[in-house]
Amino acid sequence: MSRSVENLVRHELIGLDTEVLDSSDPGTEGIEGKVVDETRQTLVIDSGGEEKTVPKEDTRFRFRLEEAEIDVEGDILVARPEERILKKFPRKWEYTD
């Protein structure tokens, strides 16, 4: 199954381009790059050759797919990737063409 707007939060995030839109940690706002690793609580983003660890909780991310950009509240991503596929999610992300 390929990544799409409808299944993004249940899918693998590694390899996606992302941007930190808002965060409770002002030092992480504006970080852009490719997701290179994911833990239960964090995303590791390669930003200009430097890996930056960003907490998922209290952070709003923008993920870029070929067909759209999707804004996702990081709180709904807090889980191990393999556990996230089993969760039921409220619709808390937006996308644009």
The CATH number given to whatever domain includes residue 44 is: 2.30.30.210
pTM of the predicted model, to two decimals? 0.84
pLDDT digits (tens, 9 = 90+) for 3-39: 777 778 888 899 999 999 999 999 999 999 999 999 9
Query: Residue 1: inside a domain, yes or no?
Result: no
> Is 3 part of any domain?
no
Domain that holds residue 57: 8-96
Confidence (pLDDT) at 24 = 94
Residue 27 lies in a domain: yes
What whole-number distance in Å separates Cα of residue 86 and Cα of residue 58?
A: 22
Q: Output the CA torsion sign for 10, 11, 14, 19.
A: negative
Residue 53 belongs to what H/E stretch?
Answer: strand 50-55
| Mean pLDDT confidence for 50-57 | 97
> Is a pLDDT exceeding 80 seen at residue 88?
no
